[in-house]
Structure 1
Amino acid sequence: MAAAPRERSPFLGILPLPERNAVVQALRTETVGGLILLIAAVVALIWANSPWAGTYEHIRDFHFGIPALGLDLSVGHWTADGLLTIFFLAAGIELKRELVVGELRTPATAALPVVAAAAGMVVPAAFYALTASAGGGSLNGWAVPMATDIAFALAVLAVLSSHLPAALRAFLLTLAVVDDLGGILVIAVFFTSDLNFTALGGALAGLVLFYALQRLRVRGWWWYVPLGLAIWALMYHGGVHATVAGVAMGLILRTTRDEGETASPAERTSHLLHPVSAGVAVPLFALFASGVSVTATSLGQVFTEPEPLGVVLGLVAGKTLGIFAGTYLAAQFTRARLNPDLAWADVFALAVLGGIGFTVALLIGELAFPDPAAAGQIKAAVLVGSLVAASLAALLVKRRNGMYRRLYEEENRDDNHDGIPDIYQRTGPAAR
């Protein structure tokens, strides 16, 4: 007798209580962070295009250093190389949690977000490459439209949705974790300066010591904070972008609880870092990274120059096609399947929402185009592409939310006025 086919695991179905609590907590934090990030970006744009633009540039380009670490950077670089490391440390912790106890711990449940995120990075890069090549432009910015800004995307969902399935928000969060990993790998591999192997060796030794302290269950911030600063500085001097140090330490932190522990080191660190990351680090980076001078000429260049046009098309069209097609193919050809609470129209709205690229996209843009004029065009393209994607996604999300609201109202209608919703009195196919 033929063996019964193995049932495919539902992606983000009914999760254990600790997992649901972790997802809800992360969603709340990232949503608030997205709103603060939006405010910072708007302030930067207004400031950079006001009569006080000179003050903005003076503050952004002001240099100060830490002699003990051998560093002398501008305020803008401190926010990009320093404060943003806190954001990547939190991302590393979230990635470790997903790999150990979350949705990425088994191949069946990991297939859908991994394939969707990978396609959502490859296709936008291809859109950029084709557009830039056709217009005779530089291919340096191929990685700019690859990244999705999870904070902004979740903020859009928070503002516009009240009846959408919770699985849609969880889908976006898990997809973004894989997307963040891809962005981190791109920065580490492709955007490095001349390597200083002595400094990198020191950073590696520091990470080994960090790992040993975790294995030996050593506690106390006085061990980890100085060691983390040393690893970060050595990584910077080694020629690898310093934010990679944050990811590495996040992946090393222990996520499982020992007997008698109320929280693991990763949970405690994440609890402390999330407010700093969402409320200080990322907004300050946005404040000094998104201050682009906007004129009719510069906006026109976004749609006429091949490099910025490639970024816009990559974010708006490439992300949508990549995420949706990747999700569909993964659901068709792997053991994972789409959560039954979701429709493909929901996935399409989420795919469009994935075109909101900001934090990592702006960072990669600065690394790919050192020339300030070229970097300004790319930043403007990121802002325009993200705005277009957010506007289109808002229409789709609002439409889907309205449909789910009507379904909710119909299911809870009490036409008989007997205190019992009609949905509980129906039998047969009409009852859900």
Structure 2
Amino acid sequence: MNCDSAVVFVARDPDGPALPLLLHKILFSPAALWLCRSLQLSGVRRFFVVTETDYLADSAACFPPDAVVLPFDHPQLSARMAAFAADAQDQVITVTRPVWLSFAAAADLAGQDFLLPAEGSAGLYRVDPALLAQEGLSAASYGECYAPPLGPDPILLPLYSLADLARAQCCARLDNLCRWMSLGVQALDMDTVYIDVDVDIGPGTLLLPNTILRGRTVIGSNCEIGPSTMIRDCVLGDNCIANASQLNESRFGDGVNIGPFAYVRPGSSVGDGCKVGDFVELKNSTLGQGTKLPHLIYVGDSDVGAHCNFGCGSITCNYDGNFKYRTTVGDNAFIGCNTNLVSPCQVGDGAYTAAGTTITSQVPPDALAIGRTEPAVKEGWASRHRAKKSQG
């Protein structure tokens, strides 16, 4: 039996928290989004969501863009419900109370006999669409109720309180990890890996302890993530390494080596084969293919070409206290140690900057820029200085 339609109630319990429990977060996303993804895995493609006026936007964000989301007091609620039910391919799944539904349960929901007699309802039903169209919301519980099979790991949890939500969080973390492991992802320590509901991971990727993957992060195949790494809303290509680092709202090509202790801020794009090494911060910048930022470097608001190398201690000075400016570095450039690139400035293709140089304008292609003074050497100064201490 293919139930392609679902009606979900996102309502606040008068005796519960101010926010509906389905809008509280499990791991990093609302419980309603986890429920939506489980229902989608079972074959549901159409959603009719009923909520309170104050939560229309938050509820809509948890379901597909074509979902019908209406408040309980909408004047056309019954008519819209009837039209929705009339287009259902088969019986309609209704969720009348807050619930966490595991990904493992999706196979049960897609099966012929997933609904079994039960003394106590978990709030999940299968309802005749004709009855739903005729009776409206009151018919949402006039169907067969879902009784999940008994087992050591719960696959459905009614949510009556924040304590239930905390328990669901533990179950959801393990359920989601097991789903990815069944698809070829490896986890060295299953107790310390956290994967958000909309993360996507390629086969062969290894997740090391204390890995946190959030938002709509996409990890390619055969990567190594962790230990102690958090990645939020990023895209990583195949064969990447991210070690003890934090990455945010950025894109990385294939074969990128990140960390340890790198910090990538939003808006960055890192090309294939790049290195973003230890104690490197990258912000709103583009790195071309094969560029290396090995250690102790800050690159912000910059466009860096391919196959460049930045020496230790190099920084872009992108903020003058009022405005931020961009720096441009061409292909095959070499930025010497402790170079200050004062934006806006430009380093041409193949150019070099000597160690300790401050760049404030343009360095032509294939040029060498030296911005340091000759040292003054004072012979015998050190011994005279030490003598002062002995003389009191």
Please tell me the TM-score bracket, short chain as reference.
under 0.3
TM-score computed with the length of structure 1 as normaliser? 0.20
Indicate the structure (1 or 2) with the bigger Cα radius of gyration.
Answer: 2
TM-score computed with the length of structure 2 as normaliser? 0.22
Question: Counting helix residues as a fraction of each chain, which structure ranks higher?
Answer: 1
Ranked by relative contact order (alpha carbons within 8 Å, sequence separation 6 or more), the top structure is: 1
